[in-house]
Structure 1
Amino acid sequence: MLARFLRKKAVGHLVLYLMLVLTLLLSNSTSVLASNVDVLPEIRALLQNQYVDPVSADVLNAPTVDETLKRLGDPHTMYFSPVDYQGFVGSINMSFYGIGVHINMEAEGVRVVSVISGSPAEEVGLKAGDLIVSAAGQSLAGLSSDQAVRLLRGIEGSTVQISVRQGTVTKDLNVTRRAITEPTVTGSLLDGHIGYLGLKSFGSNTPKEFERAVMQLSNQSVDSWIVDLRDNGGGYLSSAIDLAGYFIGPHVAIQVKDRTGVIRLYQAPEQAFTLNQPILFLTNENSASASEILTAAVKDYHKATIVGTTTYGKGSVQSMFTLSNGGVFKMTVDHFYSPFGHQIDKVGVTPDVAIQQADSLKAAELLLSDKTVALTKARTPDYWEAWGELSNSVATQEKSASYSLYYPDYRKVSELSGIPLDKKFTVHFDGAINWQSVNDSSIELIDSLTGERTLTTFNTLGPSDVQVIPEKALSPDATYWLVIHPTIRDVAGQTLHEGTVEVVHTLQGSGTPEKAKIQSFGKPLDYGWAIWDLGEKQ
């Protein structure tokens, strides 16, 4: 990625920043320290004259660059060698020279999560799930992600030999590195009506990529949007401000305070369009810097609902300074705040809808779905946890009545505690039942936390009674729901007038089977759909 200048219009001011970036590096090792002592006076001068806060004499008198940065204690101020700086800049724009794989570090080496289409890795037959155990003759076991990436990446056209374990077979492959560029914005259609926009970084081309993705999805009957900023560590300040224009229009997007205490207000540009349909932003603890600027802006102006967890809390701006040895010094020069002046540094941006455990993307899909569609999804294991956490974030429910979140029109017939793990349930109906309508879809035994269905068999005990027998032992100290759906028919072909739920709590020990009496008539529960009341946020 090429370095670029940032020229943004401040309200009442014109300010020039050199290569101003806001990014959080999340790897284990984030800097390479200057070994050449000749740059130490340059770094001291920069810290003394342009660092965001006054720097103590103890820091300025440190004997080495390493010790200077250690005493400074700012994880976002660091030195890059020329090679590492190019890698840093490339990471913002999702551009680098390498073999083209996404990886996870494991004890034995590098696990391939996915292979980039058209990459050298794909051409030599690498696949997701493969384990790269060595590269360039060096074992990858026990290395950090930075160390492994350094071995896999390199000069364009150079070749690296890797040893790859595919199942039980280990192969030695020669892979020629070349330029790999991925988009910083991905777009896709969810559920036939939701436009999903995944932002991986705030690179120089991100605003154009964003606009292109939105225009493509707008032609596919999109009526709402999900903007995913999870694990987005940031990028260029200019990109964050430009992107804000698509949501807040030509209004103040950020407040920036320099070392003198002067606050400047930066205005977003007027873009080709402003999204005004329902919008959800997804954030987590790794959404940082530029991600926080955009999130704080849409939150201040009530242009989107924030779903997930509180963001990282990096409210500082760094500028790049080229040194005489060709290295680059990245240094904190400003603090930034939300458009309305809210603190971000060490605080982060809090979500409107907190989703701590479940997949916030699934929660967002449920929020943007029709009530009937959402409830149908909620009853599946894939969305079960998201629905439970989502519902409990907007309404207080007693644990014993939480089944009503999933089956609002069903009636609880009983609640049992201390049942044995080899429990067999006997269900009694008011009349004779057509047993062909009784199956694992009409009677379900469900783990209340996960939505997992326990496979069961059925043993008829007469015209109105059936025994439900789990095929495996129940889990201890767990809560299950025995759900009887109103699809069951009697011998005359009439279905039940309502569904019912028996709540059961397991403990270690033994006991005798209990009967659940199923009523054919009853008043449905009254359930408010408060979680869809997002109108004021839009």
Structure 2
Amino acid sequence: MYYDQDERGPGRIGAKALALFFAAIVIAGISFLAGTLMGPLKAVEPSGLEAQFPGITDIEDFEKLFEVRETLYQTYYKDIDDSVLIEGAIKGMVNSLGDPYTVFFNAEEYSAFNEEGTGNYVGIGIMVGAKDDKIVVITTFDGTPAYKAGIRSGDVIVKVEGVEYKGSQMDQAVSIIRGEAGQAVNFTIERDGIQMDLSVVRDHIKLVNVEAEMLESGVGLVTLLQFSENTSSEFKGALDSLKAQGAKGFIVDLRGNPGGYLDESIKIASNFIRKDADVVYTLDKFGQKKTYKSYGGDYMGVPLVVLIDEGSASASEVVAGALKDYGAATFVGHNSFGKGIVQMVYNVGEAEGLKVTVSSYYSPKGTNIHGTGIMPDLVVDLPEGFSEGEYDRLKDTQLQKALEILKGKLGN
């Protein structure tokens, strides 16, 4: 950027240059979060930006931004770091949208965000979402620090380190929750109208995304924890392995699965949907439609039961919505979370990132589940206190009902 020096401070940035700088932030990339597609922004000099973005006509509207900056430089009693001002201005612009899923990441935050996509990161082991302007725990992964501390799916995060956060401030809360291994982070959570304080020590989190097990009577159980890199190939491998062991039908457990990469969910749904059939489509504010089609698979028509609950979100709901529309599975459990919007991730500069809600997604029959979720065919409650103790499959009433239904389909 260009600075005109004067004696009153480090300099004044031309309004036109920074307005064009802001414009450069919101172009290009390709990566989805009901899924994620990624690509770098093209580096463009400010003089070239004028030609590349001829539609920019409101440069003068940014003048007060520099008026404030100049006043700060002239009057603030401490030294000022321009990089901090710029980050604050960008985050303020993004946060003004009031969308908790549209977030600007500084370099440290972007690195942590990308690590989480691999299922190997430092944290406490939860995934959160925004609902009714509250920060809601979508899932707590078994065996993680958060699980051991007592945080559960459905809990509302009221405070982090004593500061209260709303759903619209989710990214701010998440930035505080992130940190170094071995350090504690303090929460106030709300469950069933009762608030409680908890302290959780961050640790290295390594998630196994796919678990497979043979149950009784030719039934294979596949549990999906999230849709991260290579989850679809692991899922296909699990199906093939269980089939080789004699599985004639499958239970797919999406409970507590917060979602992840859209492309992975398309590939997973494709195992059960004919080639070139619609799996999901998106619509942006311009009415542009993009349809994602099935790759085809080896398990079309196989007896299938899918478990969902309030922790099944985003990419999980893409899979569930498609299978439900095609009648490919019976659904057991509770209503899903209801996140029917898609984010794209853009690389900004050398190491920063911007995650933007770009469209709504729809099931093959045109259903958007944002805010409502997917209702199972059979609602089954878990026993009171079930999540508090060590997991007991025989007490898992949802799994037992799924097993009963699948055995019926198999004629057992």
Which one of 22, 37, 60 corresponds to residue 34 of structure 2? 22
User: Percent of aligned positions with the same letter in both sequences?
Assistant: 29
SS of equivalent to 2:34: strand
Q: Mark the structure with the bigger radius of gyration.
A: 1
TM-score (norm 2): 0.58
Task: Give how far 1:191 is off.
Answer: 2.6
1:332-379 Cα distance to aligned partner (Å, 9 max, x none):
11111001211222222221111244542232123234xxxxxxxxxx
Identify if the C-alpha distance between structure 1 residues 147 and 362 changes in structure 2 by more than 3 Å, giving closer, same or farther.
farther
Q: What letter corresponds to residue 277 of structure 1 in structure 2?
A: V
Q: Name the residue aligned to 1:315.
A: 340
Higher relative contact order (CA 8 A, sep 6+): 2
Query: Are residue 114 (structure 1) and residue 123 (structure 2) matched?
Result: no
Task: Give how far 1:534 is off.
Answer: 9.8
Please identify, of 226-235 and 347-356, the stretch whose mean Cα deviation from structure 2 is larger.
347-356
Q: What letter corresponds to residue 200 of structure 1 in structure 2?
A: L
Q: Name the residue aligned to 1:187.
A: 212
Distance in 2 of aligned mates of 1:18 and 1:85: 16
Q: Is 1:103–1:114's contact at 8 Å kept on the other side of the alignment?
A: no
Q: Name the residue aligned to 1:213.
A: 238
Task: Give how far 1:239 is off.
Answer: 0.8
Query: Are residue 80 (structure 1) and residue 118 (structure 2) matched?
Result: no
Gaps of 5+ in 2: 1-27, 37-48, 69-87, 128-139, 151-159, 164-172, 185-202, 384-396
Gaps of 5+ in 1: 1-15, 25-41, 50-56, 105-110, 116-125, 132-139, 153-159, 163-176, 370-531
Q: What letter corresponds to residue 291 of structure 2 in structure 1?
A: L
Identify if the C-alpha distance between structure 1 residues 129 and 333 changes in structure 2 by more than 3 Å, giving closer, same or farther.
closer
Q: Name the residue aligned to 1:402.
A: none
Q: Name the residue aligned to 2:17.
A: none
Task: Give how far 1:145 is off.
Answer: 8.6
Q: Name the residue aligned to 1:368.
A: 406
Q: Is 2:35–2:264's contact at 8 Å kept on the other side of the alignment?
A: no
Distance in 2 of aligned mates of 1:114 and 1:332: 32
Distance in 2 of aligned mates of 1:141 and 1:362: 40
Q: Name the residue aligned to 2:358.
A: 333
Q: Name the residue aligned to 1:242.
A: 267
Q: Name the residue aligned to 1:265.
A: 291
Identify if the C-alpha distance between structure 1 residues 66 and 360 changes in structure 2 by more than 3 Å, giving closer, same or farther.
same
Identify if the C-alpha distance between structure 1 residues 346 and 112 changes in structure 2 by more than 3 Å, giving closer, same or farther.
closer
Identify if the C-alpha distance between structure 1 residues 534 and 224 changes in structure 2 by more than 3 Å, giving closer, same or farther.
closer
Q: How many residues align?
A: 280
Q: What letter corresponds to residue 362 of structure 1 in structure 2?
A: Q
Q: Which has the higher helix share?
A: 2
1:316-335 Cα distance to aligned partner (Å, 9 max, x none):
11111122262211001111
TM-score (norm 1): 0.45
Q: Is 1:94–1:182's contact at 8 Å kept on the other side of the alignment?
A: yes
Q: What letter corresponds to residue 406 of structure 2 in structure 1?
A: L
Identify if the C-alpha distance between structure 1 residues 145 and 322 changes in structure 2 by more than 3 Å, giving closer, same or farther.
closer
Q: Is 2:333–2:379's contact at 8 Å kept on the other side of the alignment?
A: yes
What does 1:15-414 correspond to in 2, within 5 Å?
Answer: 18-22=30-34, 64-96=89-121, 114=143, 150-152=179-181, 181-250=206-275, 251-271=277-297, 273-324=298-349, 326-358=351-383, 359-369=397-407
1:59-107 Cα distance to aligned partner (Å, 9 max, x none):
x999834443443111111122222223222323312258xx8689xxx
Identify if the C-alpha distance between structure 1 residues 129 and 255 changes in structure 2 by more than 3 Å, giving closer, same or farther.
closer
Q: Is 1:284–1:310's contact at 8 Å kept on the other side of the alignment?
A: yes
SS of equivalent to 2:358: strand
1:168-196 Cα distance to aligned partner (Å, 9 max, x none):
xxxxxxxxx88x64331111122353211
Task: Give how far 1:270 is off.
Answer: 2.4
Identify if the C-alpha distance between structure 1 residues 103 and 259 changes in structure 2 by more than 3 Å, giving closer, same or farther.
closer
Distance in 2 of aligned mates of 1:75 and 1:258: 18
Task: Give how far 1:274 is off.
Answer: 2.1
What does 1:522-537 correspond to in 2, within 5 Å?
Answer: 532=408
Q: Is 1:93–1:184's contact at 8 Å kept on the other side of the alignment?
A: no
